[in-house]
Amino acid sequence: MQNPYLPIPVRIDKATIETEDRNLKTFKFVYVNPEDEAKFQYKAGQFGELSVTGKGEIPIGIASSPTEKGYVMFTVNKVGLVSTALHNMKEGDIMGIRGPLGNWYPWERMEGKNIVIIGGGFAFTTLRSSIVMLLDPENRKKFGDIHVVYGARSPGMLLYRDELAEWEARDDINMHITVDGTDDPDWKYNVGFVPSITEEKAPKGDDDTFAIVCGPPIMIKFTQPVLDKLGYKHDHIIMSLENRMKCGIGMCGRCNIGKEFVCKDGPVFTLEELNSIPKEY
């Protein structure tokens, strides 16, 4: 039996600063042992534990898509001991990843359906994985219309800006990029909070439309009533409780909400499922 706490060694191939405050950095890891790639087969929505020797490990959503082969990517917010140590590491350094962990967005159930992706701030990482997967030529034909509402505090805090521009230029995805506010005279997208832009831009809910929501709690709190107003059924609203992820396998007992262990039973739940557990998320 394989030790579930044993990380796979990876090398930092590239590190990219994403935001103007320099606190968000995307790491592209390549496998030290190429055969380990087969052990880390994941689906969009899953997460991994990033481990730095002598510092510990942290759970982070996977930012790369399963369709991107030969490497795996994570975007890390510098907020604590492990993430700060990781930010200080250099390209070529070796560290560990453990996983893939948790469940994923129910892609099989959503085949043939329209998808609205709603995200805010740092939580856009697993949504990036989802968008790249959906836009892959082999996958795009399996789904209906795709809308993306993505917001950040300011233009300089948006993640993956080059890719956002590429997606914006495509005719098979409807991008609705927004910022809370800006004094940039060249800003050509939306200004406003994610919930209000969702109400303005997202399609009405019906049996053929699902909403995937991932973002800070305050964004989720005010987006949920908007989706209710638009007519989305609660089993068609998919949410990720990434802020409750801990050890990744439900052993430390710190991720449970009622009888559910977010690391093992989630982090992805429908709103209908969340309605049946304590509101501790």
Q: Which residues are annotated as a binding site?
A: 247, 252, 255, 263
What's the Cα-to-Cα distance from 120 to each of 17, 51, 117, 214, 259, rounded to whole Å? 18, 26, 10, 7, 28
Place of tokens 């002598």: 54
Contact (Cβ atoms closer than 8 angstroms) between residue 232 and residue 209? yes
With b meaning 16 or more CB within 10 Å and e meaning fewer, what string describes 237-272? bbbbbbebbbbbbbeeeebbbeebbbbbbbbbbbbe
Q: What's the CA gap between 140 and 151, in Å, rounded?
A: 24
One-letter amino acid at 118 equals I
What φ, ψ does residue 91 adopt, rounded to 5°?
-60, 135
Place of tokens 């089993």: 235
Place of tokens 């948006």: 158
Positions at the binding site for [2Fe-2S] cluster? 247, 252, 255, 263
Q: Classify 229 as helix, strand or coil.
A: helix
For residue 116, what are its two tokens? 């609205």
Shortest CA distance to 70 belongs to which of 14, 123, 134, 126? 14
What φ, ψ does residue 89 adopt, rounded to 5°?
-75, 160
